[in-house]
Amino acid sequence: MAKITQLSDLDLEQTYSYADYLTWRFDEAVELLRGKISLMSPAPNLTHQSISMRLSGILYQYFRRHRCQLFAAPFDVRLYDRKKSLIASQDIYTVVQPDLCVVCDADKLDSKGCLGAPDWIIEILSKSTAQKDTQTKFQLYQEAGVKEYWLVYPYEATVSQFVLDEASDRYQLLAMFSKQDNAVPFLFPELTINLQEVFAK
């Protein structure tokens, strides 16, 4: 399959698969959401990057002694609906790059990233990504079986914690944390995250 070197060579209205994604060699960063190309936002602002780095540091210290592994964007996560899709490049139509994700099943990891749902995903919202993170990705992560999903709101200094209910296969809002709180992941109850440190100016 020919390599694509210019984003302009693609039809943004067309549906693409992961097999197509592997042929793209242009500079722009993109995600693939249900087969549709989604342009990544410009470089994250200072607030986003500060929060991401502080969270990364806290989580790294914990997970370096843990069997689960922490990854930060850019890191390709290939998702498929557990109930509908086969695990093959041509049958995968979603490739995302979460701000932070934790993968506990080493069999999901390969040289290209993660194939299947990470256990925990954290997205740090910006004005340009809020709708995608709270709606489109919310649904995709739910369908793929991401067990825990955190939405971090930088300017409100809050975190919404969603946990996948096994009976309904739908996310339930477990907690909303503010800057004054210590946030505790449902999957890792021994991990305490001081949000004053995370949201410090």
Pairing of strands 113-115, 77-79: parallel
Residue 12's pLDDT is what?
Answer: 87
Whole-model pTM over 0.85: yes
Is there a domain that residue 36 lies in?
no
Is there a domain that residue 69 lies in?
yes
Domain housing 63: 46-73+97-198
Separation of alpha carbons 191 and 55, rounded Å: 12
Residues 50, 56, 62: CA angle, nearest 5 degrees: 145
Is there a domain that residue 153 lies in?
yes
- In the DSSP assignment, the letter for residue 73 is S
Is there a domain that residue 137 lies in?
yes
Is there a domain that residue 132 lies in?
yes
- Tens-digit pLDDT string for the chain (201 aa): 678 888 888 998 999 999 999 999 888 888 999 999 998 866 678 999 999 999 999 999 999 999 999 999 999 999 987 776 656 666 899 999 999 999 999 999 999 999 999 999 999 998 888 888 999 999 999 999 999 999 999 999 999 999 999 999 999 999 999 999 999 999 999 999 999 999 998
Residue 15 CB contacts under 8 Å (≥ 6 apart), including other chains: 34, 35, 36, 93
**Amino acid type, 152:** V
Residue 6's pLDDT is what?
Answer: 86
Closest CA to 94 of 117, 68, 120: 117
Is there a domain that residue 16 lies in?
no
Is there a domain that residue 14 lies in?
no
Residue 85's pLDDT is what?
Answer: 61
The count of structural domains within the chain is 1
Closest CA to 68 of 198, 196, 185: 185
SS3 category, 152: strand
Is there a domain that residue 15 lies in?
no
CATH number at 148 reads 3.90.1570.10
SS3 category, 105: coil
Separation of alpha carbons 15 and 200, rounded Å: 42
